[in-house]
Amino acid sequence: MGGSNHFLLAGKDERQEPATLEGAVLVDNGRFPYLLDSPEVLGTLDDVGAVRGALVHVDGTDWERVSAVLDELEGCSTEHPVDNRNLYNRLQREVTTASGKRELAWVYIPPVARQAELAELYPMIKSGDWMDRA
Give domain limits for the chain: 6-129
Q: What is the 3-state secondary structure (H, E, C) of the chain?
A: CCCCCHHHHCCCEEEEEEEEEEEEEEEECCCCEEEECCHHHHCCCCCCEEEEEEEEEECCCCHHHHHHHHHHHCCCCCCCCCCCCCCCEEEEEEEEECCCCEEEEEEEECCHHHHHHHHHHCCECCCCEHHHCC
- pLDDT for the residue 132: 87
- pLDDT for the residue 63: 86
User: Who wins on pLDDT, 133 or 104?
Assistant: 104
Tell me: domain 6-129, CATH 2.60.40, correct?
no
Segment 71-120, tens digit of pLDDT: 999 999 989 999 999 999 999 999 999 999 999 999 999 999 999 999 99
